[in-house]
A and B are shown apart, each in its own frame.
Chain A
């Protein structure tokens, strides 16, 4: 009997169309648009000016504030301008525009393909290196990794969990990384274990990726303390709290971080980036991204530089289908619908899902029939139907009592609802409002 998390969950159609397509390296963009806000927290502060010549991997914007991350040049070239550009939501954000004139890397970066196994740095040095390299959670949350690796005083981590679940339908980037970069991931995990001074790491992988499980199982034999845990396919297993519950049976209490139960969770992609940063001195300037969709002629997985326009990814996959109705940055359950394709790849871009017209729009909403399917589906044990009503009516204190802040926005409720009610839309709004109220209270 395979393990999974204990409450709720759903099983959407997997649609892993690009699972068998190896990672292809995308050509350099003619112009790289590097957003200054690619992570949770304060946007980075530019350290270059218009006209500066930069090399690939050179620092171009510095972390500003505690929760923030460095940003490096993804290509070599000239800084054209630092200007506003519309982000995925249509809001204007600052970005650094680099005109590419080649791919000349900083000399300090080791570009040889050899696997470097020995970890010479101390834990503090490792964390500093990760901060310098601007590494953030690659699963999509984009929380700066170095902060996660420094547990708050009094808390101790005893296990590292690596998220290889990739429970979002369609996405296959992590799957391909596990198959093609197994060695690097293992060293990356060993580095993380050293940084956290733990001697146990578990890689959670859903059972729909038997090849990755087998491959990593073979690799893990050479490393002490790393084990693979196959998990039953169940969404949202990739949620941090769900994954900890599934792998080690500990439930993170409401409103607390995973460190409360002695666990730290990192994504597969993050482990790879950490290997490259610590062993090869290479900052986070590229990532693997899945381009997929039923109407896409050749779905695939690409290694793309940060700042590459989404359009070139789509072109590499056979161009934008004519009947495209919706483009989603990320997976279909938690991804964000893009307002336009003229936006660049960022550190958190895990996928680009193209949906045809007929799948793009929702069905009309009907009365709630109180079937309780949302309650059964909610992985946090909440009552979505109730939270929606409370949020619609603006009864924020009651919403807080009903633990609206525990919602992980996985979308299982809206997915399940037979009446097609936009449960999560309203709950998310409730979360925002209640969050504001709670913050103003502590002030």
Chain B
């Protein structure tokens, strides 16, 4: 007989693994990737492949040569970072910039803190915001959907609906005038608008959300609280003055809100651990997003909102605890 193995209980495991979760997210990102290929064609393909490959390469190099660890690039997390970074970029971004973004994402956003599990900020967003601040021109020239399918850097560009709106409100145009300039709701829902390549197709992102919820990769708390907060906040503004403030549905479908709420805010590492904490986190993201969009200088605020709330995550974890068993004990009948 073999020597018996002795270990503390439990002696069985769910079979869940980091890889399964990571690849689950990757599968959930596929509908959005297909939509981006449909709308932005070659550009989307080049940007996505470059970003993913660069993220994998940097992760491998840093793990192997800087940290002297066994590289674990196939755990899927670098692929997700690469995909999410690409989804947050315009499809005509020069390759060099994508590589810089990937280097910042993986090098500064993730590995500098000790790798998977230790980074305080969402790595893809760190890279994206770095690029946005460093290269504002390239980062805000958006290729037109469908029209520029077959071209990469020299694509025809236009503004995103949110930018059109922001400029318009600033220059005093009425909401009725502006509504004609921005795409219809159905086009917004399908993704037929200018924007980062992964953020445009609401329907594809929602399919991804459904998949992740069914597979129990994430819980509903963060996406629902982000979306609900944005809807309620912009809804109140819209009710107060429909001429000044656009409808909540428009806010929901534009500017990467869904991408952020579903894929970026729910990043395991940088989001809170308890369900009440997740809701606080989501509400915070929603509020900050609307504040930036409506009152701030940038037309778009999801990335910043998520990064700001990432910074609050340790605080939320410290003070907002899950509901403990027995806290609401009913009094005993005498």
Whether A and B touch directly in their complex, counting CB atoms under 8 A apart, is answered as yes
Binding site for B on A (CB under 8 A): 7, 10, 12-13, 156, 158, 169, 241, 245, 249-254, 256, 260-262, 320, 322-328, 332-341, 353, 355, 357, 359-363, 366-373, 375-376, 378-383, 385-386, 403, 406, 409, 411, 414-420, 422, 424-425, 428
Please measure, in the bound complex, the distance between the C-alpha atom of A235 and the C-alpha atom of B80, giving whole angstroms: 33
User: Main SS of chain A's interface residues?
Assistant: loop
Task: From the candidates A13, A325, A333, name the one contacting B2 in the complex (CB within 8 A).
Answer: A325
In the assembled complex, the Cα of A332 lies from the Cα of B334 at a distance in Å of 40
Residue contact A324 to B4, C-beta cutoff 8 Å:
yes
* Least Cβ–Cβ distance between A395 and chain B, in angstroms: 14
B215 within 8 A of A: no
Report B1-52 residues with CB < 8 Å from chain A CB. 1-2, 4-14, 16-18, 20-21
Decide if B10 touches A332 in the complex (CB within 8 Å). Answer: yes
Chain B contact residues, CB within 8 Å of chain A: 1-2, 4-14, 16-18, 20-21, 75, 77, 115-118, 219, 268-275, 278, 317, 321-330, 332-334
Q: Say yes or no: B326 contacts A254, CB within 8 Å.
A: yes
Once the chains bind, are A355 and B11 in contact (CB under 8 Å)? yes
Partner of B273, one of A320, A375, A381: A375
Q: Which residues from A are CB-within-8-Å of B21?
A: 369, 371, 418
A420 contacts which of B13, B273, B327, B330 (Cβ < 8 Å)? Answer: B13
8 A-B contacts, Cβ less than 8 Å apart?
A7-B322, A367-B115, A369-B77, A370-B273, A378-B322, A403-B324, A420-B13, A424-B9
Is there contact, CB below 8 Å, between B268 and A371?
A: yes
Bound CA–CA A357/B5 (angstroms): 9
Q: Please, which residues of chain A bring their CB within 8 A of the CB of B278? A: 372
B329 neighbours in A (Cβ, 8 Å): 250-253, 260-261
What residues on A are CB-neighbors of B13 within 8 Å? 362-363, 414-415, 420
Q: Across the A-B interface, give the 7 residue pairs with the lowest CB-CB distance, nearest first.
A: A411-B10, A367-B117, A381-B324, A371-B268, A418-B16, A332-B12, A253-B326
Q: How far apart are the CA atoms of A326 and B326 in the complex, in Å? A: 36
A334-B10, A369-B18, A383-B322 known; A327+B4 contact, CB < 8 A: yes
Task: Report yes or no: A339 in contact with B321, Cβ–Cβ below 8 A.
Answer: no
B326 contacts A241, C-beta separation under 8 Å? yes
With a CB–CB cut-off of 8 A, which chain B residues contact A328?
9, 11
6 extra A-B contacts, CB within 8 A, seeds A12-B14, A326-B11, A334-B10: A252-B325, A253-B326, A326-B7, A363-B17, A381-B325, A424-B9
Query: Do A169 and B12 touch across chains, with their CB atoms under 8 A apart?
Result: yes
Contact assessment for B274 and A379 in the assembled complex, using a CB-CB cutoff below 8 Å: no
Known contacts A324-B1, A337-B4, A414-B13; A241/B325 CB under 8 A: yes
Residues of B contacting A371 in the complex (Cβ-Cβ under 8 angstroms): 21, 268
B109 nearest CB across to chain A (Å): 15
B269: which A residues are within 8 A, CB to CB?
Answer: 369-370
CB neighbours of B334 from chain A (8 A) = 156
Q: Which of A323, A360, A406 has the most CB of B within 10 A?
A: A360
Which residues of A have CB within 8 Å of B7?
326, 337, 361-362
